[in-house]
Amino acid sequence: MAVQWQDDSIFEHFTIFEETFKTVGSHSIMAAVFIPKGLAPGVHPAIFHFHGGFLVNAHSLFAPFFPIWVLKLALENKAILVSPDYRLLPSENGVADVLEDLEDFWQWSRSDSFAKMLQIHSSGHSLDNTRLLLTGSSAGGYAVMQVAMTHPDDIAAVATSYPFVNPKDPIMFSGPRDDEPTIMCVAREEMPSRTSVLEWIEETKYTVATKAGFERTPFAVAAAQYGIYYSKIFDPCGLNRLEFIPTERLRAGARLPKKIWILHGSADSVVHLRTTQEFVDLIEEKLPDTTVRLDIASGEDHAFDHLKTSWELHAIGALDFVKQSWLET
């Protein structure tokens, strides 16, 4: 049976507009702003949501990868939600381009131009930056942790699912072992060949792109399966910078906000649970003032919370933890 992904109807309770926050060459990089319909004028809590997709596909308004629980938090707590695009991989400089865009988005969100833009599109509304929640799944979780480590004192809480915190996990270097499932449990015969993936990377990396759909997914899956994701997509220039890897940043002394929630499936075939467990162990060892809640969903694979409404059974009380961490500062 085909997967039934979410569609744009999940956004029906929001007024949404997009605004350019930077330009690369002639390419505008945009952020989507979600205002709950009927929201009264005033200063409101904020959610910054970062989309997932292997850092290779999707965008800020890509409904299939937009967690319903994030939209629920915004609606129930009268929050304004902002979701940026960023340069998709493969790109000329790899993840360095992504990190540059994330920081430029952050600086824009704190600028007078952002405040003026919000007044133009939604007069009377503004963000309460003391009540800021970061959310994201998978590659979006990578973005969340990177921004959170760079600005730990400016963020009330983090909520993320199966975050891509260690791109140096062996699966990204050499692919799954014979005793491990294939990436996303996709049959090998359904993947493009290694040669096709390498050709696609070369054809794609010199064109700036910030919005893409499922058409790129087979190449990302296959690159990880063949163990070339890290060297050919993530860090093609071989820069090997510590700041590219959240786990290494944490080990080297980076800090995080005081409250963190992580949801992860025990059978995740892309971002293995071991990487999140290592990250949580490091937080508990190195950041005693940070409270981290890890909920493990038994038997669940990658992106399960986008496909199943029953995910909360694996994390009873988790959203209450998030709300208290975020709003009761």
pLDDT, position 68: 92
User: For 94-111, how does the pLDDT look when each residue is reduced to its tens digit (9 = 90+)?
Assistant: 999 999 999 999 999 999
Q: Residue 3's Cα: distance from chain center in Å?
A: 21
Token pair listed for 22: 């930077």
- Residue 8, SS3 per DSSP: helix
Dihedral angle of Cα 31, 301, 79, 326, to the nearest 10 degrees = -120
The beta strands (E) that lie in 138-275 are given as 157-161, 259-265
pLDDT, position 1: 37
**CA separation for the pair 268, 274 (Å, rounded):** 10
Q: Residue 61's Cα: distance from chain center in Å?
A: 13
Token pair listed for 72: 């629920």
User: For 11-36, how does the pLDDT look when each residue is reduced to its tens digit (9 = 90+)?
Assistant: 999 999 999 999 999 999 999 999 99
pLDDT, position 315: 87
- Which portions of the chain are predicted below pLDDT 70? 1-3, 329
**CA separation for the pair 201, 68 (Å, rounded):** 32
DSSP 58: B
Residues 312 and 328: beta-carbon distance below 8 Å: no
**CA separation for the pair 133, 254 (Å, rounded):** 19
**CA separation for the pair 289, 228 (Å, rounded):** 38
pLDDT, position 308: 72
> pTM for the complete prediction?
0.96
pLDDT, position 293: 97
Q: Residue 68's Cα: distance from chain center in Å?
A: 14
Beta bridge partners, 47, equal 81, 133
**CA separation for the pair 130, 217 (Å, rounded):** 37
Annotated domain spans of the chain: 11-167+240-327, 171-212+219-234
pLDDT, position 311: 80
CATH of domain 11-167+240-327: 3.40.50.1820
User: Alpha-carbon Rg of the chain, whole angstroms?
Assistant: 19
pLDDT, position 329: 64
Instruction: Kindly report the three-state secondary structure assignment for every residue of 23-56.
Output: EECCEEEEEEEEEECCCCCEEEEEEEEECCCCCC
